[in-house]
Amino acid sequence: MDQEMVAKVLQSLKTNLKDASLSSLTGDASSLTVVPLQGGYLNEVFRVTSADGSQSCVVKVFLPHAKFAGPSVPLETDRCKRQHEASDYIRSLILDCCEASIFCDDVNNILCLRDFPEHKVWQDDLMTSCDLHLGGKLVDALVSLHSQSHVTRLGQAGFAKLKEQFSLLPKLMELQHSYTFVKPFQPNHRDNKPCDEKVRVKVDEVIHDAVVIKAMQLAEDWLLQENATCLIHGDLHSGSVLGKSAGQDIKIIDTECARAGPEAFDVARLVCSYVLLYHYHHQKTGQGVGSSRCDHTQLMADTVDLICITLSRYMEGMSKALQENFDKHLVWKQILLFMGIEIIAWISGPMSLTCLESFPEAQIFCLNTALRLLHRQTLSLDARGVSQLIHDSH
C-alpha cells in the first residue's frame, strides 16, 4: 500500500470532512484503519474505519492515468469532479439509488463517499445467488434515469445544457473506445491477454464475420454525440452496482464515465455482464456443491430469468414513461447490437472476467451468443426469445 497516498487521503479527510457523524475519521492517523478495496482498474479505492469500527467511509483517489496500465495510459483527473456531479445529478432524479458523495477534494482529486458495508458488489452476489427483485429494482432505476434525462423531456435547450455539463472526457473516451471497438477486433488480438488458443481461433472467425464488422461500425456511429438521447452511466455492468437483499436496496456506483449517450448502451452493457455469468454457471453445472455449495443449475436458470426481466421491464418502463417519444424498435435493435459487440470485447479484448478465465469452453459459448445476437438483430426477437437464444448457444 502506498503510504504517501494514504497520508494524502487522511489529510484530505482531516481538512474536508465536516460531517459530525463521521468526526472520528478526522482524528489521529494511528486510530484509523485504511484498507485498499479490490476491483478498481482505473483508481485507488480505500475504506477508512474508526478504531471502534462504528464509523467508516470510502475514499477514491483519481490517478492521472489508468491504475492497471500506469503512466502509459494517461487520463483526466477531472473524472473526480465528473463522478461527484453525476452521482448528485442521478440522486436528484432517483433518491438513494446512487452512491452519495460526502465531499469532493478537486485539489487532490479525492472523492469521499458514504460507505455501505452491508451491501455487496452485485457481480459477486450473482456468483452464488440471484435476487430477481433486486435486479428489477436496478432496471426501474435505469428507466427513471434515462426517461427523466431524455431529450424529449428536457427539450433541446435543456438537453444541450446537460451535454455541456457532462461533456466527453477525451482520454477516458479513447480508452473505452480502444478497449471495446479497436483492440478486440484487431488481427493481433492475441496480444490483449493470455487466452486458450481455441478461443483465439474462434475470435479469428468472429472478427472476420461481415455481419460483426458492420455491427461494430454501426455501434460506433450510434455512440456519436449527435445521436445521444439521455444521460447514461457509461460503464454500467454488474460490478458497478452494490446490492443488499435485506431491504431490497441497490446503489449504482462508479459514475465517472457518465455522459450523454444512447439509452441502449447502459442496458446492453449490464445484460452483457449477466450473459457472461450465465455461461460461467453453465460451465460449473455438475460441479456445483463443493465448498461454495452453489447450485449452478438453479443459478443458470435464475440468470436467464434476470436477463429476461431486465430487457422486458426496461422496454415496458421506457415505453410507459415516454410513450410515443420512445422509439422502441430502434432501441431494441441497439440493445441487441451493443450486447453482441460488448460480449466479443470482453472475451477478445484486454478486459477480463476472472471467473471465466479458466473456462475456454464458456468463452467460446459467449462468442457463439454474440454471433447469434448480431445475426438475428434484425428479426423479431422479444426478451424471452433473447434468453432462449443465449441458452441455445451451447
Q: How many CA atoms lie within 13 A of 37 on its CB side?
A: 20
What average pLDDT does the chain have? Answer: 94
Q: What's the confidence (pLDDT) of residue 293? A: 59
7 Cβ contact list (under 8 Å, min separation 6) = 29
Domain boundaries defined on the chain: 3-114, 120-391
- What confidence tens digit (pLDDT) does each residue in 207-239 have? 999 999 999 999 999 999 999 999 999 999 999
Considering only CA atoms, which of 172, 373, 186 is closest in space to residue 256? Answer: 172
Residue 40 has pLDDT above 80, yes or no: no
| Residue 2: band (very low, low, confident or very high) from pLDDT cuts 50, 70, 90 | confident
Residue 304 has pLDDT above 50, yes or no: yes
Domain 3-114 identical in fold to domain 120-391? no
Are the beta carbons of 273 and 345 closer than 8 angstroms? no
Whether this prediction's pTM lies above 0.85 is answered by: yes
The CATH superfamily assigned to 120-391 is Aminoglycoside phosphotransferase (APH), C-terminal lobe (3.90.1200.10)
Domain 3-114 carries which CATH code?
Answer: 3.30.200.20
Helix%, strand%, coil% for the chain, nearest 5: 55, 15, 30
Considering only CA atoms, which of 284, 309, 164 is closest in space to residue 228? Answer: 164
The CA R_g of the chain, rounded to the nearest whole Å, is 21
